[in-house]
Structure formats: structure tokens, C-alpha cells
Amino acid sequence: MKQTRLSVNINKVALIRNSRPGEFPDLIKIARDCESFGAEGITVHPRPDERHIRYSDIPKLKKVVKTELNIEGNPTENFMQLVLDNKPDQCTLVPDAPNVLTSDSGYDTLAQKSFLKEVVSILHESGIRVSIFIDPEVEQIYGAKETGADRVELYTGNFAKQYKTDPKKAVENHIRCGEAAVEAKIGLNAGHDLNLDNLAYYSSAVPRLLEVSIGHALISDSLYYGLQTTIQLYKYRLR
């Protein structure tokens, strides 16, 4: 079985950069360094207010990322144009409201199947792999499959909260989703609040987990351990 890939979300680096004029820290250099330190993908989540990743960052990242570029976001008209213009390896559809602080819930792939099917089709026409951010519910796996999506990304925020008190119960529905994804023949990603404490348990429990996207915890840990060491620590957890 292939090792789960680590995609580093660099939104928080952009947030620090945006706190002052100029380009420090250098987001593009950080992306290249993450790859040289072992990251197998770079994730960005541009939002309408551009409070971290700016739309103007995307073409620059597209030029330098050599592993996989994953662009997450709400498929508004502006977002879709950004994605189609830059053709990342993967686009992850996330139902963010404009004023949301962070992504804390997934798409209802059953109720919004027609809309998602249309979006997936448009992205596929440009050769872009599509993942849909969902809550860890088995029926959402099958709903995503019906939209034509290539993958789903399980929201792991609630898992992270419950892990501290009851790890086994926290991961139960994620295991069921992993099994359903295998049956439905759809790829499985995961992300949100995964960290050095809970990642090894999660990745070893959930079957056929292809990729995790981690930003906030990883960038925070790098303040103590340094970026290179931190990426290696996360990759070690995935082994």
C-alpha cells in the first residue's frame, strides 16, 4: 500500500506576509522549500477577501510547484476562472461562506448533486482532478461518486476534538467512510486540525488514505522545530 502523501497548506505563511507591506516571508520560496524538505504537494485556499493567499500568488505558484498544486475553495465565478486559468493538479471544492474563518463543514453531495456535477464536469474538461470536501458520512461518499468527482476530502475537525478523550470513537465514522470510498472506487483525502499528536493514529486507522492537507498545525510546529524538521516529523507520522 502506498504511503499517504503530505500536502502542506501555506495559507498561514501568506497571512504572516500580508501583515506588513512587501513579500516577506517569501511565499514562493517557502513553497519550493517545502517540496525540497519532503512535502509531496502544496495546498492553497484563496478566499474572496485575500486575507492570506492572493489571487496573484497562484500563477507564481503554478510555475514553481513540481509535486502537486491543490487549490481549495468555494467554486464562485471568480474562483473557477482562477482555477481554469492556472490548471492545478487538483481542485478541492469547499462550501465556504465569504465571512467564514476556516472551513468547518463539507458539501451535502446529495442535496447539491446537480450543482457539483456541473462544476466537476467543467474542471474535468480542463484535465483537473477534483476532490469534494465533505463531512465524514458514508452517504456523502456515494453522493460524491455520483457527481463524477475523483476524490473526497474528509473534514477531520470533529475527529481532532474527540481524539483527546476517545480516539476509537472519534475515528469510527472515518473508517466507515474509508471502506465506502474503496467500495465506490473514489479516492480519499483528509484534512483539518490534523497534527503531530493525532496524525499517526488517524492515518493508520483509515483505509486507503491517499493524501492529507495540513497547514495551521504544521506551520505552528515549525516555529519550534524549523520547517524542514517539521515536515519530516509529519511524514514520519504518516509512515
The question of whether 45 is a catalytic residue gets the answer yes
**For residue 170, what are the contacts with CB-CB under 8 A and spacing of at least 6?**
158, 159, 160, 161, 162, 163
The question of whether 52 is a catalytic residue gets the answer no
Question: Of 35, 40, 45, 68, which is the active-site residue?
Answer: 45
Question: Distance between the two ends of the chain, CA-based, in angstroms?
Answer: 11
The question of whether 124 is a catalytic residue gets the answer no
Question: Of 35, 40, 68, 72, which is the active-site residue?
Answer: 72
Residues 93-102 as b/e (b if ≥16 CB within 10 A, e otherwise) read bbbbeeeeee
Question: Of 35, 40, 68, 192, which is the active-site residue?
Answer: 192
Distances (CA, A) of 222 to 7, 11, 24, 96, 121: 15, 14, 16, 27, 38
Question: Nearest 10 degrees: CA dihedral of 221, 225, 92, 15?
Answer: 70
Backbone angles phi, psi at 155, to 5 degrees: -75, 120
Distances (CA, A) of 124 to 97, 130, 145, 175: 24, 7, 14, 28
What residues act catalytically? 45, 72, 192
